[in-house]
Amino acid sequence: MVELQINTTQNVNINFTAASVGERILAWGIDWLIKIAYGIVIYQIMFKLLTIDEFIEDMDFWSQMAIIAVFYLPVIFYSLLFESLLDGQTPGKRILKIKVVKIDGYQATLSDFIIRWIFRIVDLNMMSGVIALITIITSPRNQRLGDMTAGTSVITLKNNVNINHTILEDLKQDYVPTYPSVIKLSDNDVRIIKDTFKTAKKSKDYKTLIKLRSKIVEVLELKEIKHNTDHEFIDVILKDYNYYTQNM
């Protein structure tokens, strides 16, 4: 089991567990089964039910290939399409509960997914995936070449999840917020803040708490801070964000 340290913009590390080679192979296999099933369905519909072969039989070879390729574009762009739409997951990855993330703590973007998709030609299509297997095994972050180039890795989401592992906070009904400017933050910002806060509290890393508080004050442009300790301040920031986003 490989522990993956993600360095956040607050200059602290958050630990995740990298997806194992077995999990990634199983996810890849499930995705291939889905693509094969799609290909069979398309073949049955287009060439059996609609007899499209009669339509294209008078065309030249390259025109025939072009028409067939159009129907199979979803197979070609399968991983790019799903990882973009499902926030770093294909159906196979979702079933295995693994996900593509950036190693800087942010969510992967479309350009990252495009880079990973392009490098599939080398990683997975050449030498039947041996290159990907070797690079994942030998990489300290379980990365294939596409991951290394895009600055991504694949992590497992199989940890037991409760409210403490999400950006959600348990608020009392009469809760009164203190800092309205928290709405400047995104869900991803708050996730990073909460993960960093939990890690620093657990290890009694007071320097990190000070840095985190300073960064929040800077981003939110706070002129007045109504809490004396870093612990109280960050805790209120998390609760305030939940209050405003749940009531918008």
Residues 106/59, Cβ–Cβ less than 8 Å: no
pLDDT of 246 reads: 65
- Nearest to residue 18, comparing CAs of 27, 26, 6? 6
The token pair that represents 166 in the structure block: 């999400």
* CB-based contacts of 187, cutoff 8 Å, min separation 6: 167, 245
Paired tokens of 130: 């041996």
Q: State the pLDDT at residue 162.
A: 39
For the chain, residues with pLDDT lower than 70 are 1-15, 47-59, 61, 64, 105-106, 159-171, 246-248
The tokens for 202 are 């657990």
Please provide the average confidence, as pLDDT, over all residues in the chain.
82
Contacts of 161 (CB under 8 A, 6+ apart): none
* Residue 171 near residue 196, CB atoms below 8 Å: no
What's the pLDDT at 160?
42
Report how far Cα 102 is from the mean position of its chain's Cα atoms: 7
